[in-house]
Amino acid sequence: MIVYDLECENSHRFEGWFGSADDYDKQQASKLLSCPMCNSGQVVRRPSAAYVNTGAVEKPPRSQPKPANALPQQQYANVPPEIVAKVIEHIIKNTEDVGNRFPEEARKIHYNEAPERHIRGTATPKDVESLRDEGIEVVSLPVPPHLTDKTH
């Protein structure tokens, strides 16, 4: 397992875990990498600190309490990129893209002001939290930018 420090074009830094350097190269070439914060597909590797094994026993990390309003982070550990890509393709094929009107449309559907249908779109973390507070189920899934232009 190899961990790379990554950064998107909007200066969001995050980690990427890969089975090998070759896995990273393949995912980058297939445009499967995207920022978990803004969904940007313009992702590059950044220098990271090297790990030096000194033989010393590591202390267990101290857990820090999460803020009460923290949103859960979506993780896709040990899921091959091909499976994630198939799931995303299925979602795109079977949902209506409402773009940045997603919070508004989700509320209309929830409150029976619009016909029941499967939708996808974009929402800020604050919008997602607000929807969840209203009892509206939403799932955040980073869709690579080259797939967002596909029609359903």
- Is the model's pLDDT at 74 over the cut of 80? no
SS3 99: helix
Which of 36, 28, 16 shows the shortest CA–CA distance to 128? 36
Q: How far is C-alpha 131 from the chain's CA centre?
A: 18
Amino acid (1-letter code) at residue 45: R
Prediction pTM value: 0.47
Sign, CA dihedral 94-102-6-52, equals negative
- Is the model's pLDDT at 72 over the cut of 60? no
**Third-level CATH fold of 1-51:** Rubrerythrin, domain 2 (2.20.28)
The pLDDT of 112-137, averaged and rounded, is 91
Which of 20, 16, 15 shows the shortest CA–CA distance to 1? 20
Highest mean pLDDT among 83-87, 114-118, 120-124: 114-118
Confidence class for position 131, pLDDT limits 50, 70, 90: very high
Domain positions in the chain are: 1-51, 79-152
